[in-house]
A and B are shown apart, each in its own frame.
Chain A
Amino acid sequence: MIDIVLLVLKIAILVLLYLFIWQVVRGAVADVRGSGAAPDVALPDGSPPVVVPTPEERRRRREQRIAERTESGQVMDLTRHISPRLIVEQSPIVPAGVIFPLEGWVTIGRAPTSDIVLDEPFVSSTHARLVPRDQVYVVEDLGSTNGTFVNDRAVTEAPLRLDARLRIGDTVFRYEE
């Protein structure tokens, strides 16, 4: 009796083993072929989250900023444009002309968790950050290996004035407001 049970078990285990493998391969291959799953095309390495805001979006952000600053009691100079942004002038990886709107603290680095990701060899994982201070964006170098440059001068901390050139690694940004 026990022998027959064991024989049946033996065959059943082998059949189930191969059923398992077949099912996994079938499911996984269907995954590769698409069927609503993720596309099989590789994204370029470290492609930055390029955000080119629409005019409406920009206006909405500006209004939101004004509201925030008014709430916190800061004086708002309404004669100034206040949509601070970095525009890529030249870069080995980001197309020139790409606009990064700045809001709050912005980190720049090679780490995928940075707000602006620059996957270049001369950029540190967490390279620099931009901090709004008294209505001016200040760039702070976060101990990067190859330095942060404003108008071609190495800085550890410097305010960004209109049309300032910010260079990190081989990427040059122009600051606009």
Chain B
Amino acid sequence: MSRRTTELLYLVLAGAVSTMAYVSVYAGRFHEIDRRSILYGLVFVVIFLVLHVVVRIYLPQADPYLLPVTALLAAIGLTEIFRIKPSLALLQGQWLIVGALLFALTVVIVRDHVRLDRYRYLIGVLGLALLVFPIVAGTTVNGAKLWIRAFGMSIQPSEFAKIAIVVFLAGYLDDKKVLLSVPTRHVLGVPVPAAKYFGPLVLMGGLALVMLVFMKDFGMSLLFMAVFVALLYMATDRIVYVAAGGGLFAAAAALAVWLVPHVGDRFSIWLDPWAKADTTGYQLLQSLFTIADGGLLGAGFGRGFLLYADRQPVVPDLQTDFIFAAIANEIGLLGGVAVVLCFLLFFWRGMRIATQAPDGFSKLLAGGLAAAFGLQTFIILGGVTRLIPLTGLTLPFVSYGGSSITANLILLALLLMVSHRTNVVRAGTEVERRRLAELG
């Protein structure tokens, strides 16, 4: 069975799950099952079938599991958003179509990710600009300044900056990895590579701190720093960078907890949400109650206790950062674990693509993208379940948010490109190899 046929089979399975989930929510709301609810499932399946065809034409040897896992996560997210606020589900559906278009455009225009390496610095500057832009022109939401409003929409540029910066770092670190792993001097007994190769890296670390201070965005800042350290470690195989990066961030975070009230609150809530149960701790406590209320199997899609009588969600921001609480409430511990397993599958495939990739840039690109995806998932799921301090990030593919879903679909496109190149270089047909070579 070819890779694409496998993908199609799994997509059909994911489509079946999404249709059933939607029918369930629809029936829970209107107490009937009608044609419209099944139509939704079909529209959703058609979007992903189109993506499947795009992959079949342009990236026939790409990994067959990533797209179905994405479809399943997006389906669960969209269903849950419809459950919480039907008006938002329509918007999110439109964003999904925009994301699908951007996915197709990325695949058709870029074709081979290796070509991106040529525009390495341009992409890096673009990423920086996207990150810094909200500081200048942003609006503040929930204490963090990371949104820009344009054309009546809110866009979160940092979601896109994440990808641009991974592309830049993959190229840069692949170029300089030998220099960075060979120490030239010793400082306090610690071997340190030559300073000039450190420049851009210090810039990256500083950037994470700037985000922390000026945008007060603890989540994105943590994500950038972690992805950056992960990439450095992957490129150089030197644990010193992990220790230094972790220590630096811990110090900065401690300072932020102490000096920035917004961040300090998050930290004290994590330690003891009960102390401020009626103010800042309310959201996290409601989230924990909602998850616990689901029990082992949950009440089923559309039947959990997620909305008060006045249709306000029981947890503030339920459809964005706290969507996992809603899912765990409705399909229970088993369903919640299944969703986490889907994220794990995505991360595992991404890392596997990285280990198999034929050249350094591809390895670091896939590894960096998978790390960004996995870390973002961990940071928000850990926050919602009070494993780590709560920081506002979206749950990839699932949360409500146009920037999040479009950016993550582009991330998926890049991972599939790396996978396609790997499989063609290793075991592709002569025609496929030639086609890839001609792209250069």
Residues of A within 8 A of B (CB): 2, 5-7, 9-14, 16-21, 23-25, 27-28, 32, 37-40, 42-43, 45-47, 110-114, 117, 119-121, 125-126
Contacts and interface: CB of A to CB of B under 8 A. Distances in A.
B360 A119 contact: yes
Contacts of A17: 17, 72, 331, 335, 338
A46 B360 contact: yes
Interface string B324-350: 000000011011001001100100110
Given A20-B13, A39-B426, A112-B358, A10 B331 contact: yes
A38 B419 CA distance: 11
B303 to A, nearest CB: 6
Contacts of A125: 117-118, 120, 175
Contacts of B20: 9, 12-13, 16
A111 B117 contact: yes
B179 A121 contact: yes
Q: In the A-B complex, list the 4 residue pairs whose CB atoms are closest, starting with the nearest.
A: A113-B440, A10-B300, A121-B178, A17-B338
Given A17-B338, A24-B69, A111 B114 contact: yes
Contact of B115 (A19, A27, A46, A113): A113
Given A14-B331, A28-B352, 12 more contacts: A2-B27, A6-B24, A10-B24, A10-B297, A21-B338, A23-B13, A27-B64, A28-B349, A45-B363, A111-B114, A113-B115, A119-B360
Contacts of B120: 125
Contact of B359 (A23, A24, A32, A119): A119
A125 B119 CA distance: 11
Contacts of B363: 45
Query: Which secondary structure dominates chain B's binding surface?
Result: helix
B335 A9 contact: no
B298 interface: yes
B355 A14 contact: no
A60 B32 CA distance: 75
B28 A24 contact: no
A21 B341 contact: yes
A177 to B, nearest CB: 26
A112 B13 contact: no
B66 to A, nearest CB: 10
B65 A24 contact: yes
Contact of A14 (B27, B338, B359, B440): B338
Given A14-B334, A20-B10, A6 B114 contact: no
Contacts of B427: 37-38
B390 interface: no
B359 A6 contact: no
B31 interface: yes
Given A21-B342, A119-B360, A13 B117 contact: no
Contacts of A16: 13, 16-17, 20
Interface of B: 6, 10, 13-14, 16-17, 20-21, 23-24, 27-28, 31-33, 64-65, 68-69, 72, 114-115, 117-118, 120, 175-179, 297-303, 331-332, 334-335, 338, 341-342, 345, 348-349, 352, 355-356, 358-363, 422-423, 425-427, 437, 439-440
Nearest to B171: A125
A18 B14 CA distance: 11
Contact of A2 (B31, B65, B68): B31
B24 A38 contact: no
Contacts of A126: 118
A46 B359 CA distance: 5
A27 B69 CA distance: 13
B337 to A, nearest CB: 9
B338 A18 contact: yes
A10 B281 CA distance: 32
A125 to B, nearest CB: 6
B345 A25 contact: yes
A13 B115 contact: no
B28 to A, nearest CB: 6
A27 B176 contact: no
Given A20-B17, A24-B10, A38-B422, A10 B345 contact: no
18 contacts: A2-B31, A6-B303, A9-B301, A10-B303, A13-B17, A13-B21, A14-B297, A16-B17, A17-B331, A20-B72, A37-B427, A38-B422, A38-B426, A42-B355, A43-B358, A43-B425, A45-B363, A112-B361
Nearest to B31: A2
A75 B43 CA distance: 66
A96 to B, nearest CB: 20
Given A5-B27, A121-B179, A10 B356 contact: no
A20 B14 contact: yes
Contacts of A47: 358
A20 B338 CA distance: 10
Contacts of A2: 27, 31-33
Nearest to B72: A20
A6 B426 contact: no
B440 to A, nearest CB: 3
A78 B439 CA distance: 35
B300 A6 contact: yes
Contact of B114 (A14, A18, A45, A113): A113
Give the residue among B118, B120, B175, B301 with the most A Cβ atoms within 10 A: B175
A11 B6 CA distance: 25
Contacts of B362: 112
A112 B359 contact: yes
A60 B302 CA distance: 71
A99 B14 CA distance: 51
User: Which of A2, A17, A20, A113 counts the most chain B CB atoms within 10 A?
Assistant: A17
